[in-house]
Amino acid sequence: MIAIYKREMRAYFTTPIAYVLTAVFSAVAGILFCICTLQMQTSDSSAYFQFLMYVYIVIIALLTMKSFSEEKRARTEQLLLTSPVSLTGMVMAKFLAAFTLFMGTLVLTVPFFAVLSMYSDPNWAKIIGCTVGIILIGSCFIAVGLFMSSLTENQLAAAVSTIAVLCGLVMTSVLNSVIDFYPVRAVLSWVSIYSRFANFTYGIFDIPAAVYYISVCAVFIFLTVRVYEKRRYA
């Protein structure tokens, strides 16, 4: 498992993926931060974190698109699947590699808050709450991205389908406001990733929401493992 993790990390940094994604992310996140806090002359960064979620939909889709699809295309998955590493170990290694890079991009935003603290007295509880929320949501996004990548050997198809699924998961809250039928609203509200983020923006550590995000993450990791198991039995 550690070998696959190391190999994944290496692959991110020996190809332009990590550099391009972190550069683009930093630029977009910086602009968003300026607009949401500095230009608005507020120290409340919850709007910034909400926009950041949408940025991560694209960034994580691009980050995870080659995780399994490239292995499948290059037939290197045969090496992994015939080695003494378990399927769960293989999927977890790839998850952790993508998660590490995702955390790296998040760390790059730390100086933003240092700047903010120079001009105001930000609510650190809110910032930490939002950060925890974003980490949990990012983990879900990565798990979805890995799952979509395991379904195809075309990287572009993996990225586009990941963006579509993640948009679907986030946008359910929008649908929620236009649908009158209660049972559908209840289901959409339960599925919505976005609506559960609200409490984190108030600086509250919402345990049910955290459990939900971890569960979604676990379900998609499990489904990815199942994709490989199913292929063995195909």
Q: Name the one range near another protein by CB under 8 A: 78-86, 127-135, 185-193, 195-203.
A: 78-86
Does 13 help bind another protein (rule: CB under 8 A)? no
Which residue's CB is nearer to another protein, number 87 or number 135? 87
Least distance (Å) between residue 218 CB and another protein: 23
Neighbours of 42 (CB within 10 A): 15
Tell me how far apart the alpha carbons of residues 50 and 38 are, in angstroms, rounded to a whole number.
Answer: 16
Q: Name the one range near another protein by CB under 8 A: 2-10, 29-37, 124-132, 161-169.
A: 2-10
Least distance (Å) between residue 228 CB and another protein: 10
Contacts of residue 147, defined as CB under 8 A and 6 or more positions apart, other chains included, come to 220, 221, 223, 224, 227
Exactly one of 41, 75, 118, 207 binds another protein (CB under 8 A); which one? 75
Exactly one of 24, 47, 81, 204 binds another protein (CB under 8 A); which one? 81
Which residue's CB is nearer to another protein, number 15 or number 100? 15
Does 82 help bind another protein (rule: CB under 8 A)? yes
Exactly one of 110, 114, 118, 234 binds another protein (CB under 8 A); which one? 234
Structure tokens at 44: 């409340």
Exactly one of 80, 91, 169, 217 binds another protein (CB under 8 A); which one? 80
Q: Name the one range near another protein by CB under 8 A: 28-36, 77-85, 156-164, 199-207.
A: 77-85
Q: Which residue has the tokens 């493992």?
A: 225
Neighbours of 110 (CB within 10 A): 9
Does 79 help bind another protein (rule: CB under 8 A)? yes
Residue 3, CB-side half-sphere exposure with 13 Å CA sphere: 6
The answer to whether 149 and 162 are in contact (CB under 8 A) is yes
Residue type, 28: V
Per-residue H/E/C for 116-176: HHHHCCCCHHHHHHHHHHHHHHHHHHHHHHHHHHHHCCCHHHHHHHHHHHHHHHHHHHHHH
Does 77 help bind another protein (rule: CB under 8 A)? yes
The contact set with another protein (CB under 8 A) reads 2-4, 6-7, 10-11, 14-15, 74-86, 232-234
